[in-house]
């Protein structure tokens, strides 16, 4: 690698293929004059540190792209079947107090603090949240790996979830 970076040596095609596979990068990217811009989202992660996400991992990007493909498919499905737009999508702004938005969302989803206290574990609370979100028309996707590749585990230190929205629906992963 150091010789490649210093341009003292070049990888063989086989080495380049192995490197592309290892880094989950399309091999064609290595032949571009400039690396492509892969990330345009200005968002915060739901990771514990709540840090701004500068450069996401290829695992996060691949998961995001997969969810966007599913979103595109479901948007077409929703339009084809005449499903109505969800009234709460886009109803909050960043100027609003997070507590007020959270309370409105709890009301929309039919969640109550008292009912949540009755649940014995956080996984039960998560299951209830997912069920209520789906009942409200939100498509929820849950996975701990990239696609169906059990060798590519997602890093909860980087993110624990993200949301996608469009003019018809809200998407959560």
Distance between CA 58 and CA 138 in Å, rounded? 26
| pLDDT tens sequence across 118-166 | 999 999 999 999 999 999 988 899 999 999 999 999 999 888 888 888 7
Count of Cβ atoms closer than 10 Å to residue 146 Cβ: 21
User: Which candidate, 63, 66, 56, 5, places its Cα nearest to that of 30?
Assistant: 5
| pLDDT tens sequence across 7-45 | 899 999 999 999 988 888 888 888 889 887 766 554 555
Distance between CA 136 and CA 110 in Å, rounded? 9
DSSP tally for the chain: helices H, then strands E: 6, 5
Alpha helices, DSSP H only, in the chain? 2-5, 13-23, 58-80, 98-109, 113-117, 122-135
Alpha helices, DSSP H only, in 1-97? 2-5, 13-23, 58-80
Domain ranges of the chain: 1-36, 42-172
Reduced to 3 states, what is the DSSP secondary structure of residue 165? strand
The answer on pLDDT for 50 being more than 60 is: no
């Amino acid at each position: 690698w150091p010789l490649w970076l210093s341009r003292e040596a070049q990888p063989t095609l086989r080495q380049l293929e192995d490197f592309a596979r290892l880094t989950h990068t399309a091999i064609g990217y290595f032949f571009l004059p400039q690396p492509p811009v892969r990330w345009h989202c200005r968002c915060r992660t739901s990771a514990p540190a709540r840090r701004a996400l500068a450069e996401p991992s290829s695992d996060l990007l691949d998961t995001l792209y997969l969810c966007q493909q599913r979103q595109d498919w479901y948007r077409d499905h929703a339009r084809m079947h005449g499903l109505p737009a969800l009234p709460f999508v886009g109803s909050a702004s960043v100027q609003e107090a997070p507590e007020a938005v959270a309370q409105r969302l709890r009301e929309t989803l039919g969640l109550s603090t008292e009912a949540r206290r009755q649940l014995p574990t956080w996984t039960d609370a998560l299951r209830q949240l997912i069920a209520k979100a789906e009942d409200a028309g939100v498509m929820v996707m849950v996975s701990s790996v990239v696609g169906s590749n059990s060798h590519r585990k997602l890093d909860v230190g980087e993110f624990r979830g993200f949301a996608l929205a469009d003019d018809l629906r809200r998407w959560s992963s």
